[in-house]
Amino acid sequence: MESGALHAPVRYSPDVEVVRPDEGKTIEGLNETFDTILKTVADDSGHAVRSVHAKAHGILEGVLRIDADLPPELAQGLFAAPFEHKVIMRMSTNAGDILPDAISLPRGLALKVLDVAGERLPDAEGTTQNFIMVNGKVFQASNTEKFLGSLKLLAKTTDRVEGLKVAASTVLRGVNKALTAVGIESATFGSLGGAPNVDPLGETYYSVTPFRYGEHIAKFSVAPVAPSLTALTGTEIDASGRPDAIRETVRSEMVGIEGTWEFRVQLCRDLERQPIEDPTVEWNEEEAPFQRVGLITVRPQDSWEPARVQAVDEGMRFSVWTGLAAHRPLGNINRARNAPYKHSAEFRERFNGCPIHEPDAGH
């Protein structure tokens, strides 16, 4: 390939996925492990929470404007034509129990795009398109078996031994900083509590796993572009003695700033260099650049407004399998996210006696 020239985007076909023979059994194991996390937290607190990304730091409402005049390979699915959609953004932290913010874990961003027309994925209720992202470029497990292994580790720490977890997080954070300094980024350490305690408003988020992108295949990213947000990138929040420090920080910041984020798409251009089934492999951005397809704008607002928190945190679920057939989740990790996430929502619904539903334009 000549320098500077990009391969044409790979065309989607069902045979880009390779289903392993024992995948069903592994998914059963994931369901059981999620159950352990859910039950432990519900029994400890009397309230059922999400099995992962349980703690929210801010819930924002805004708009996603799809860019006009996109080239054909980018004008696909949700992004096929310029349109303005209402969006709900939920910023969260990994782990299934509601931990004090001094325990630093990777940040998550769940995005629900409302009023999306088109053919839906099987069993995808409503008319929304969901995107789930984290502030890292790769997943910590190369396949479902390894994911199950790390989830079992997480399940073992989901209980009341908070002091131990605080100590472990501090140690892991030190180890992670040392590894990063010598050029090794340890996703596993990060996922178990060694990530820096950064301000979620300044972070860039990645889907990590690939999705169908109409006629093509892509990973997604949401990146802050407003100077008021990029000024916060990498800012660490001191959470000592403040269990909800991140939530308080986001709330005080969002009252005074208009946030804008670019929605970006990374088209797969080589199935060997940008694999579908192994999300630990980073897709090199020189070979497969991220390209802007829309802009999210969030006006100054109360990011912890009680009625919205209740509506979103208790009354909605976010799943990569809620959306358009044109954005079908691809690869074994995505296939494994279908049943357990649904299972988790049903458990919360039963335990809390609060129905979970997809919102419409007026919620």
- Please state the rounded mean pLDDT for residues 296-313: 91
- CA atoms of 349 and 144, how far apart (whole Å): 26
Question: Pick from 129, 181, 117, 148: which is nearest to 329 by CA?
Answer: 129
First and final CA of the chain: distance in angstroms? 49
- Three-state DSSP at 294 gives strand
Question: Pick from 109, 30, 19, 56: which is nearest to 246 by CA?
Answer: 56
pLDDT for the residue 163: 44
Strands 211-213 and 259-267: unpaired
pLDDT higher for 119 or 188? 119
pLDDT for the residue 333: 80
pLDDT for the residue 171: 43
- CA–CA distances in Å: residue 129 to residues 26, 70, 100, 124: 27, 20, 31, 9
pLDDT for the residue 164: 42
This model's pTM is above 0.95? no
Confidence of residue 5 (pLDDT cuts 50, 70, 90): confident
Radius of gyration of the chain (CA): 19
Query: How many Cβ atoms from other residues are within 10 Å of residue 359's Cβ?
Result: 18
Amino acid occupying residue 216 = H
Given a cut of 50, whether residue 277 has pLDDT beyond it is yes
How confident is the model over 53-76, as pLDDT tens digits?
446 889 999 999 999 999 999 999
Given a cut of 60, whether residue 103 has pLDDT beyond it is no
- CA atoms of 275 and 76, how far apart (whole Å): 21
- CA atoms of 189 and 150, how far apart (whole Å): 11
Helices and strands in the chain, H and E counts? 9, 9
- CA atoms of 61 and 196, how far apart (whole Å): 26
Given a cut of 70, whether residue 348 has pLDDT beyond it is no
Residue with tokens 């074994």: 332
* Cross-strand bridge partners of residue 221: 206, 264
- CA atoms of 312 and 164, how far apart (whole Å): 31
For residue 193, the 8-state DSSP code is I
How confident is the model over 218-270, as pLDDT tens digits?
999 999 999 999 999 989 888 777 778 888 999 999 999 999 999 999 999 99
pLDDT for the residue 184: 39
- Three-state DSSP at 43 gives helix
